[in-house]
Structure 1
Amino acid sequence: MSKLFTPITFNNITIKNRIAMSPMCMYSCFNEDGKITPFHMTHYVSRAVGQVGLVMTEATAVLPEGRISPRDLGIWEDEHIDGLKELNEQLHSYGAKTGIQLAHAGRKAELDGDIFAPSAIGFDEKSKTPNEMDIADIERTIDAFKKGASRAKQAGFDIIEIHAAHGYLINEFLSPLANHRSDLYGGSKENRYRFLNEIIQAVKEVWEGPLFVRISTNEYQPEGNRMTDILYFSEQMKMAGVDLIDCSSGGVVHAKINAYPGYQVNRCDQIKHEANIPTGAVGLITTGIQAEEILQNDRADMVVIGRSLLRNPYWAKAAADELHAELTAPVQYERGWK
């Protein structure tokens, strides 16, 4: 039996297969207001029609200054709830479970006005220098993640993912490449993890459902986090009640990355078994056979598909055909799928 098309359950939420749509920025909001548009409805719902088990939104900013671009989705105010609720109703109608990635861009925000980071170090020489966050800024941001989680609950999401990867704010706190603080939020790996831990605890005060965290498992720089640091963070997240670690890489600083099919899976595998926590594998996973190998060899619990789903909203159908697996068609498409 194909493992790719078997259900998986996290904290009483059952996803019908092991395929998740990776959060991918669409830069498509009107008027810089962070609200859902007709494009988002078409984009996400078409993947649910295509039978993706878990449809995850793009990075959704918990504060206006936490957007990567002025046209990112937001969840920093109650006015965002209705559009996200309508999206969830559509996604659920096709049997998909839904996730929202709560995010803050930190020093990688390309916006007018002030931007914020653990230390006043720009991403590169062309980037704006961020304001170093004081304790009040940190507390305000943690509270924004908590309020974002509460709004996500009101909007009807099944799963929350905290974005702690790709060099954005939480990743900046985790990494010695971006975090040069000398207070309780900098220095040792225990201190660098503190910001993420406090966000997790705050979110769990208002959120009872499954909680995922996306991290960069490799920073591709010898001065950055080592695998021992990543495993420490992963073990702490497991103890904090995180249900799955979404294992990506890179983004903290510019780096040359040798990207090849499945290039991030080895670290995903290591985290799964050494930290004893479910993981999602991501990174140039393009075929059903490749995805099935990852799952059957117990290297991950889910596959998180990005660019392949941009190319083909019906990637799940193509994978099922490859694996000679049964995939229930939406009733409207039964004639074409049989």
Structure 2
Amino acid sequence: MTIRELEVRNRLWVAPLCQYSVDARDGVPHDWHLVHLGSFARGGAGLVIAEATAVVPEGRISPHDTGLWNDAQVQAWRRITDFIHGQGAAAGVQLAHAGRKASVYPEWGSTTEGHSGRGTMPAEHGGWTPVAPSALAFDGYAVPAALDADGIQQVVEAFAQSARLAVEAGFDLVEIHAAHGYLLHQFLSPLSNRRDDAWGGSLENRARILLDTVRAVRAAVDVPVLVRFSGTDWTEGGWDEQQTAQVAAWSLDAGADLFDISSGGLVRAAIPVGPGYQVPLAAHVRSEGGVPVSAVGLITEAQQAEAIIAAGDADAIMMGREWMRDPHAAQRFALALGDESALEALVPPQYRRAHG
């Protein structure tokens, strides 16, 4: 698959997977990230997208997130992208700002400093005051500060600067994170955006910061730009697949190239989880928005993935948990589909005896 000038060897890709593993709290990736991401490239993934990587320190989900705002981070990422490229895969990074869901304890609750908790991390444990479009808290989290116009512009500029640093770090593409209840999604959804100015109210206004971000990133870099959307909030009166299709079309015009369709994360909701449960959202955005998309969500088998592509529901497949269960999933899929030439191309020579 070719996106702009980037040729990706197959359509089975690694979705961003938060690791909360930067013990030094400086945003610098290390050996864990090299082995974690490198294993997927060695295992045959076409594209490996690094976890939600903050564009500013206060945009981290937790203090243990990776970042892209300084040269030390660029140099550390370069070691990782070099290895991914050496295995034949493309390297991408998801650029993110967590907004009102920032400054929280890692998913497992405790930190390397011995602090433990859930939800927003207080200042005495290294936390900070999160920001958002409106002073509305995520359930169980601290109330954020509402961004003013200058703050919004600073966010847009931070995404563009991080995109530049990503290219310096060797990434082949960048993904703008506008899903899972993080800052750009918070602006998009009327459930979290109660502003009455140029960034609130109508769909055009709620999409303004995202479209400005896409334009700024496109002006900053020549590499492909993806956008991750939550296709729906799974809540009445919230963000939905029709709004996603419209904003994706606008984003395409603004310079984005492909749209990664997930769902949820903005508010606590009952989600009908099952095999391929988010694929219809991707198919809707692809059809109604007239844009290329990737599908994600409990896609675990070769025939299932192949059927999604063959039906035209998506242009590529993202997987997350399945890659963590089996870093060689692409090789397994090629074997299951009887594609011997693909299997031979994806297996490193050191591992070919396992398939003899």
1:40 aligns with 2:55: no
Candidates 162, 177, 200, aligned match of 1:163: 177
Candidates 235, 238, 247, aligned match of 2:249: 235
CA distance in 2, matches of 1:10, 1:129: 40
Deviations 1:32-61 (A, max 9, x none): 011111111110111111010100000000
User: Which residue of structure 2 lines up, in the alignment, with residue 101 of structure 1?
Assistant: 94
CA distance in 1, matches of 2:287, 2:246: 13
CA distance in 2, matches of 1:325, 1:47: 19
Deviations 1:276-326 (A, max 9, x none): 111000000000110000001111000001000010101111111111112
User: What pairs with 1:217-228 in structure 2 (closer than 5 Å)?
Assistant: 217-228=231-242
8 Å Cα contact 1:19-1:54 kept in structure 2:
yes
User: What pairs with 1:57-136 in structure 2 (closer than 5 Å)?
Assistant: 57-109=50-102, 110=104, 111=121, 112-124=127-139, 126-136=140-150
User: SS at the partner of 2:83?
Assistant: helix
Paired residue type of 2:28: K
TM norm structure 2: 0.91
Paired residue type of 2:304: Q
User: Which residue of structure 2 lines up, in the alignment, with residue 172 of structure 1?
Assistant: 186
User: SS at the partner of 1:246?
Assistant: strand
User: Which residue of structure 1 lines up, in the alignment, with residue 227 of structure 2?
Assistant: 213
Deviations 1:234-290 (A, max 9, x none): 110121121110000000100010101000111111111221111000000000110
Q: How far did residue 227 of structure 1 move?
A: 3.0
User: SS at the partner of 1:98?
Assistant: strand
| Structure 1 runs, 4 residues or longer, greater than 6 Å off | none
Q: Which runs of 5+ in 1 are unaligned?
A: 1-7
Deviations 1:176-229 (A, max 9, x none): 000000110000000000000011111111111111000000111111023331
User: Which residue of structure 1 lines up, in the alignment, with residue 3 of structure 2?
Assistant: 10
8 Å Cα contact 1:23-1:306 kept in structure 2:
yes
Candidates 149, 157, 174, aligned match of 1:143: 157
Q: How far did residue 78 of structure 1 move?
A: 2.2
User: SS at the partner of 2:210?
Assistant: helix
User: SS at the partner of 2:49?
Assistant: strand
Q: How far did residue 333 of structure 1 move?
A: 1.1
CA distance in 2, matches of 1:292, 1:161: 24
Q: How far did residue 230 of structure 1 move?
A: 1.6
Q: Which runs of 5+ in 2 are unaligned?
A: 105-120, 122-126
CA distance in 1, matches of 2:41, 2:326: 12
CA distance in 1, matches of 2:242, 2:15: 26
User: SS at the partner of 1:179?
Assistant: coil
8 Å Cα contact 1:30-1:37 kept in structure 2:
no
CA distance in 2, matches of 1:199, 1:96: 27
8 Å Cα contact 1:238-1:275 kept in structure 2:
no
CA distance in 2, matches of 1:226, 1:312: 32
Q: Higher mean Cα deviation, 130-139 or 226-235?
A: 226-235
User: SS at the partner of 2:229?
Assistant: strand
TM norm structure 1: 0.96
CA distance in 2, matches of 1:44, 1:234: 28
